[in-house]
Amino acid sequence: MDRRDFVRLGMAATAVATASTASAAGKAAPASAAGGILEAGVLEQQALMQSGKLSSQSLVAQYLARINAVDKRGPRLNSVIELNPDALKIAADMDRERAANKVRGPLHGIPVLLKDNIATADKMSTSAGSLALAGVRATRDAHVVAQLRAAGAVIIGKTNLSEWANMRSTRSTSGWSGRGGLTRNPYALDRNTSGSSSGSGAAIAASLATLAVGTETDGSIVSPASTCGLVGIKPTLGLLSRSGIVPIAHSQDTAGPMTRTVADAALMLAAMAGIDATDPITRDSAGKPTDYAAALIKGGLKGMRLGVARNFFGSSDAVDAIIERELAVLKARGAILVDVKVPNTDKYGETEVEVLLYEFKPGLEAYLAGYAPHAPIKNMADLVAYNIKHNTKEMPFFAQEHLVKSQAKAGLKEKAYTEALANNHRYSRAEGIDQVMKEHKLDALVAPTGGPAWLTDFINGDHYGGSFSSPAAVAGYPHITVPAGHTNGLPIGISFVGAAFSEAALIRMAYDYEQATLHRRAPRYLASVNLPA
């Protein structure tokens, strides 16, 4: 698809959206809606709605039209797996509340997409991308969904993902699920979106909603955010409830924002945070600051000691060159840079996988019993059998080695499990991130988030180009990625990692960096990367 085709598609989407808005909401959108409103952030959209120049119903209608034009037609990103049939009605309800001066907060009337492993008690399925759960509706909302609804957000749909959050096969192709098919990267359609929050990343890059929620066990928020030119926040384990999220591992799983700006991510994170009586780990967040809007100030890097994690460089000369340039920006903004090595990162690679395999089976069974009791599968054994029976649709490209290995694991009282978990925490926390930050008196660690998007390959599977996700993921510590530039038109992210519950400090630093650089560029939906001759 060339640029002229895309411009024509954008014009068509605007025409559809305007007509849809006029009939549904009776309030025309601004003439700049095609480029400005759908790309705009929470505060700008909120200001327009507050002034009466935009309605939530109008905004939702425009995003739905854009999904039809860009996701289902045109470039066919295939990032949205299902739309909420009640989205316009919910938006209208939010407009009526606004008219009655009942504005719930900054997310009031703002359109949000959810990764399809997050339970919603509505007319949409929660399937984790699996045909085994297609059409299965959750009995109640995930806690983070309830928080978003209470904040006035409008859930407009679910996004595709790497099936079972990329914990099905040892050689999967990220962005593919049996139910949803393959999500494509909007920066180059033959490139991968990374996983597992693939649909959330592609959708927000393409401005198919204002905000999206992803989930991460290890890299599944920050990696697709980086490859799609977005801001992604993987919060501290326990800041957000895990209840109602189809699990891999309770010791690492968390939801988090995927947005076009740090400000949007901060506002969304604040809305989703909260103590949940059904998830005891959230009690650890009691008393921790969650007014992340207060962190959105320039000058947040001044005087900050940042450890440059040199053992996470070296995977790509092009990426290293970009990050070296951005380190100079951090220094110019007043940060103090210290070259460091995050210790012991080689001591939890195998044990991390072991813990995930142990926790996956009981976690899945508990989710199915609590949120999907009418599903045709009840446990891991049922899922393995389902995939074998429906192998032509579920396993045309790769198998289910992780599911089989998880099914073979015994309970969580096994010595092999408890020792592996203790090992992970020791070397990622006390003798990992905590150690290097204490030794060098650091406020955060920085490094490349990962490599550029790779060519999607169903034969050989994924081939990542480096990653800084594991230390924070295994430790359960916060991690923010921000756009840092491009190589051959493909986005690259820079990461800020900190100690537990240091989200506010990381947001201050990330926001200051973002405002000084403004590297995000909207995608052009190229068929492939234009390499130099």
With tokens 């947001």, the residue in question is 507
Strand order in the sheet with 336-340: 80-83, 154-159, 111-115, 211-216, 254-259, 231-234, 479-487, 490-497, 444-448, 305-309, 336-340
Angstrom distance (rounded) from CA 485 to CA 493: 7
Task: State the virtual CA torsion across 85, 257, 523, 325 in degrees, nearest 10.
Answer: 180
Task: State yes or no: cis peptide before 127, omega within 30 of 0.
Answer: no
Active site residue 220: yes
Using alpha carbons, list the distances in angstroms from residue 354 to 409, 420, 439.
9, 7, 30
**SS (HEC) of 332-356:** HCCCEEEEECCCCHHHCHHHHHHHH
Catalytic one of 207, 220, 243, 316:
220
The token duo for 80 is 């949205």
DSSP 196: S
Active site residue 115: yes
Cα angle value 474/258/60 (rounded, 5°)? 150
Catalytic one of 55, 56, 58, 115:
115
Catalytic one of 177, 196, 198, 200:
196
Asked whether 310 and 317 are in contact (CB, 8 A), the reply is no
Active site residue 298: no
Using alpha carbons, list the distances in angstroms from residue 32 to 14, 118, 128, 291.
9, 33, 36, 32
At 491, the amino acid letter reads P
Report residue 204 CA to chain centroid gap. 10
DSSP 151: T
- Active site (catalytic) residues: 115, 196, 220
